[in-house]
Structure 1
Amino acid sequence: MPEKKCLECGIAFKGRADKKFCSDQCRSAHHNVLNSDVTSYVRNVNNALRRNRRILDSLNPGGKIKVTAARLKEEGFDFRYHTSTYKTRDGVIYYYCYEQGYLPIEKNYYLLVLKQDLFQ
């Protein structure tokens, strides 16, 4: 049987034929390094989505309000990220960050809405 070496630290070890790491620590360290860039990207996107939702929620306590694009940007809103869209029969597109939504209306104005069907 050929000698196996740990993929993380290179130490020789004995064990099952399909075993690749000498310990749980080496296995975890190896996979953490492999997934760190993906994990970092996902974490950054999720943080942006949560921030967007929090901003929409704070600016829209009544469920429907008109705000300026400048106000959204001032609060730190990132228009690149949303969780879903809804297209009406008229072709109007609402953008949602979870249950909080926004609709571009006039130039530099947005209508903030709350997706009501989630609460019924």
Structure 2
Amino acid sequence: MKEERKCLTCGEVLFGRADKKFCNDNCRGIYNNKKNKMGDDYFRKVNSILRKNRRILEEMNPKEKSKTTKEKLLLNGFNFYYYTNVYQTKQGKVYYFVYEHGYLELDNEEYALVRKLDYI
């Protein structure tokens, strides 16, 4: 006797093809959304922080170059742990970038803000 196959989402008995897993498109969509949601939450949180960091750098650097303090960045909600890439100059200076907007730590908790459009 054949084992009864059931929908992976709602548990209804399946009829038709031997490899069928869902009773309809709605159940298939619910299953896949739930399966993908676990990983998506992490990416969504990281992307949200990166977008916020980029927006802060963009607002604080309306020109190509400017300066600010660590305190001002933190007061605006900047998170120094999240950036998209790092660029080290021949002189050993390290720029941290959030997409095309970057910052370089200077003396006395000051930061140089830059925008590098050739990253796009």
* TM-score, with structure 1 as normaliser: 0.90
Partner of 1:13: 14
Partners of 1:29 and 1:8 in 2: CA distance: 7
Percent identity between the two aligned chains = 47
CA contact (8 A) 1:8 1:26 kept: yes
Quick one: which amino acid aligns to residue 81 of structure 1? Y
Mind listing any 5+ residue stretches in structure 1 that lack a counterpart? Answer: none
1:34 to 1:116, Cα distance in 2 relative to 1, 3 A: closer
Q: Which residue is equivalent to 2:48?
A: 47
| SS across alignment from 1:111 | strand
| Conserved 8 A contact 1:3-1:14 | no
CA RMSD of aligned residues (A): 1.5
> Separation in 2 of the partners of 1:33 and 1:105?
46
* C-alpha displacement of 1:118: 4.5
Alpha-carbon distance in 1 for matches of 2:59, 2:39: 30
Question: Cα offset for 1:115?
Answer: 0.5
Number of matched pairs: 119
Q: TM-score, normalised by structure 2?
A: 0.90
In the alignment, the residues of structure 1 paired with residue 54 and residue 24 of structure 2 have an alpha-carbon distance, to the nearest angstrom, of 41
Which residue number corresponds to residue 95 of structure 2? 94
Q: Who is 1:112 aligned against?
A: 113
8 Å CA contact 2:70–2:110 kept in 1: the answer is yes
Unaligned runs of 5+ in 2: none
C-alpha separation in 2, matches of 1:8 and 1:116? 47
After superposing on structure 2, the runs of 4+ consecutive aligned residues of structure 1 that deviate more than 6 Å are none
- Residues of 2 paired with 1:11 and 1:26: CA distance? 10
Distance 1:40 1:14 in 2: 34
**Mapping 1:64-75, distance limit 5 Å:** 64-75=65-76
CA contact (8 A) 1:5 1:21 kept: yes
Deviation at 1:2, TM superposition (A): 3.4
The alignment partner of 2:68 has SS state of: strand
Cα distance in 1 between the residues matched to 2:89 and 2:69: 22
1:37 Cα deviation from its structure 2 partner: 2.3
> Cα deviations across residues 32-84 of structure 1 (Å, max 9, x unaligned)?
22222211111111111111111101100111111111100111111111111
